[in-house]
Amino acid sequence: MAYNAWFSCINGCPGEFDLREVIYRCPTCGDLLEVQHDVDALRARSAAAWIQLFDDRYRRNVYPYGSGVWGKKEWVVPFIDNQNIVSMYEGNSNLLWADRYGKQLRVEDLWIKQCGNSHTGSFKDLGMTVLVSVVKEMMVSGAPIDAVACALAGDTSAALGAYCAAAGIPAVVLLPKDRVSIAQLVQPLANGALVLSLDTDFDGCMAIVQEITKEKRIYLANSMNSLRIEGQKTVAIEIVQQFDWEVPDWIVIPGGNLGNVHALGQGFIMMQDLGLVNRLPRICLAQAERANPLYRSFQDDFKHFEPVTAQPTLATAIQIGNPVSVKRAIRTLQRFNGVVEQASEQELADEAARADRTGMFNCPHTGVALAALRKLVDRKVIRSSERVVVLSTANGLKFADQKAAYHMGTLEGIKPAHRNKPVELPADAKRVARAIARHVEKARALLS
């Protein structure tokens, strides 16, 4: 069966554009594009047959179908040559049953989608495998592309550096100076990308990368490029697949540039359109209080939206005051009966630490989502009986310095309520034994 997909304007302007064309915005209205699929052709295969196909491919070693993204190839980029797919077998990340933490929150059925358990340690791999694969196919076909460039967060840069290195394509990364962790910075460096550290913020980097990619020889890899959405939407399909094709009640997503909320929404809608599911979950979009333009808009039922100047936040990847995908995100939240919540620096730091005490190791962006979840549970917006999935976007090891500073009490502006500082003792067995006894007693008190 021949399936097809193409770019079209999110506002419905006329025109269809090949996914292999260097185009990011609608030539008529200037707004973003999104990928459309030939749903009628996809309906020729029954819902049961799609489920069987996806389950048969899950975690298998037949390239590239063992990938969490390319196992759904017909729903992503159906016509791409498998020889041009650049995959690290991304996706298929585990759903962690947060039983103990859920009990503390009074949520009986809480799960954490561990998207940080991926090749470069974040969900960005899911979109980057699609984008770099399409670029490789374009270059093989003779397109005059010299390099792929991105701005914004360290996770995006890490994914771009790795996938371009695997494809043999030059990568260019624009980062705000001193705004990303060493763990994030070292990844594109190690993979051979040209890393440009600019004296500006994330929004300033975005403005520059859009300027340098006007000439089509440098391909834009930021989230305004809708190819990445196609990879990220597979998270929604994975979640449902991991629940034996049942839809959870809530998805909680940390948001900066807001592509992810649209991406997951697209995944759920596609499953509903093709009969794999019969309902949609509700969505909570969680923002850092210091970069919260969508939260502010939600207070007015999205009647108005105003960009903000994002302030420094521990959740560096979502420190974005003028998100590219805001229109798509609002439409998604309205369709999914969604809500927007925010978290202060103190709240996100403490919530990440509180969850870590139950066995996790959370990035600060997941801390934002968990803090938002707590607020919704406290207000009874989310009921204790509902199945909730929180999207964990990155591996906590990328933020080891930040987490260590929390526990040492040196994280600026934060009073760590769940601090766990090393205990320094002389090499004395009795002193060690007494310290252990105090620790066990304290642990028992917390559990009681």
Question: What residues contact 263, with CB distance under 8 A and at least 6 apart?
Answer: 127, 228, 229, 230, 232, 233, 235, 236
Sign of CA dihedral 134, 119, 257, 190: negative
Q: CA 311 → CA 263, 308, 319, 387, distances in Å?
A: 26, 9, 7, 33
pLDDT at 51 over 90: yes
Which is more confident, 448 or 383? 383
pLDDT bin (cut points 50, 70, 90) of residue 302 is very high
pLDDT bin (cut points 50, 70, 90) of residue 448 is low
User: 90-118: per-residue pLDDT in tens?
Assistant: 999 999 999 999 999 999 999 999 999 99
pLDDT at 202 over 80: no
User: 384-419: per-residue pLDDT in tens?
Assistant: 999 999 999 999 999 999 999 999 999 999 999 999
pLDDT at 154 over 80: no
Give me the chain's average pLDDT, please: 94
Q: CA 387 → CA 111, 278, 375, 390, distances in Å?
A: 8, 16, 16, 10
Characterize the bridge pairing of strands 194-198 and 282-288.
unpaired
- pLDDT score, position 445: 84
pLDDT at 143 over 70: yes
pLDDT, mean of residues 125-147: 97
User: 114-134: per-residue pLDDT in tens?
Assistant: 999 999 999 999 999 999 999
pLDDT, mean of residues 369-389: 98
pLDDT at 218 over 80: yes
- pLDDT score, position 277: 98
- pLDDT score, position 1: 66
Characterize the bridge pairing of strands 33-37 and 5-9.
antiparallel
